[in-house]
Amino acid sequence: MNDASTAIITRAIPSSGEALPVIGLGTWQTFDVDLDGSEDARLAEVLSTLARQPNAVVDSSPMYGNAESVVGALVNTLKLRRQLFVATKVWTSGKAAGQRQIEASMRKLETATLDLLQVHNLVDVDTQLTTLRELREAGRVRYIGVTHYAASAHAAVVDVLAREPVDFVQVNYSAFEREAEQSVLPIAQQRGIAVIANRPFASGAAMRRLRNRPLPGWAVDIGCTTWPQLLLKFIVGHPAITCTIPATANPDHLRDNLKAGMQPLPDAAMRERIAAAVS
């Protein structure tokens, strides 16, 4: 993949038409390390590799320990801010507390403008969305959204999407967790909302299950040579998905993940075949 930046598929954000690569990067656990620690060089390579895909999403949260600070420091040192689509979240109750947390996140991420700010796990969602809209109107936030990681919250997510004009929704979706197909993805398509799929490997459970299972021979028909590629292609093969954000601190794993964003994508029948193969 010598020229991955020209090969990665992009999808448009419905509210603007701006294009995002279908493979981004999550930072939960993987970027929660000490600054100036032994992981800095590897994480710098991860971000530099990701940034070869213009506008690739790097997603964080105040919930993720040091992740925001590590992302901010490395992005600033490597001068990657213009190449990346930086997203984070607000994760607290009360307007004043939310405002303080958002300002702290911007300081940690070393940016005056966030590409995407999301209400994490719907915590005090109505209050925080009011603040997010104010920040968007002031030009400090480009897009706003809501998130959750559990299928048990999808009904609440749908309720918010039905009544609030958000740009993004982020939910768990994978071949192991398909519940969003029945609720969140249809309303996102109907309302013109970009979808970020989190937990693409079911927080590692997928890879533990598949570790000793041979990759099906037919995987090469859609350009896959590893299980992570096949699982990610299942996700981005769904037309409602804007991007997915597998977390990694390993540059080789990121390069492998990025190959899943290249053509061809699986059609509906092939996606069902993938789901059956990992069940």
Give, for all 279 residues of the chain, the pLDDT tens digit.
Answer: 444 445 899 999 999 999 999 999 999 999 999 877 777 899 999 999 999 999 999 999 999 999 999 999 999 999 999 999 999 999 999 999 999 999 999 999 999 999 999 999 999 999 999 999 999 999 999 999 999 999 999 999 999 999 999 999 999 999 999 999 999 999 999 999 999 999 999 877 777 888 889 999 999 999 999 999 999 999 999 999 999 999 999 999 999 999 999 999 999 999 999 999 998
Locus of tokens 């964003």: 261
Domain boundaries defined on the chain: 12-278
Cα dihedral 47/185/137/106 (nearest 10): -30
Start-end of H helices in 178-267? 184-191, 205-210, 227-236, 251-259
pLDDT of residue 4: 44
When computed from its CA atoms, the radius of gyration of the chain, rounded to whole angstroms, is 18
Q: Which of 14, 24, 94 has its CA nearest to residue 243? A: 24
Residues 165, 116, 133: CA angle, nearest 5 degrees: 40
Query: Can you read off the two tokens belonging to residue 36?
Result: 């100036």
Length of the chain: 279
Give pLDDT, residue 7. 80
CA atoms within 13 A on the CB side of 272: 2
Contacts within 8 Å (CB) and 24+ apart, 101-109: 101/62, 102/131, 102/135, 104/62, 105/62, 105/68, 106/140, 107/72, 108/68, 108/69, 108/72, 109/60, 109/68, 109/71, 109/72, 109/75
Residue with tokens 């590629």: 229
**Residue 198 tokens, joined:** 């989190």
Q: Which pLDDT score is estimated for 36?
A: 75
Q: Give the type of residue at 247.
A: A
Q: Which of 74, 28, 76 is nearest to 47 (CA)?
A: 74
Question: Encoding tokens for residue 83?
Answer: 């190449």
89 alpha-carbon distance from chain centroid = 12
pLDDT value for 38: 73
- Closest by CA to 254, choosing from 220, 229, 225, 224, is 229
DSSP state of 84: E
Please tell me the CATH superfamily of domain 12-278, with its number.
NADP-dependent oxidoreductase domain (3.20.20.100)
CA distance linking residue 206 with residue 200, whole number of Å:
9
Nearest by Cα to 166 from 141, 191, 196: 191
CA distances from 212 to 248, 253, 272, 278 (A): 21, 18, 21, 12
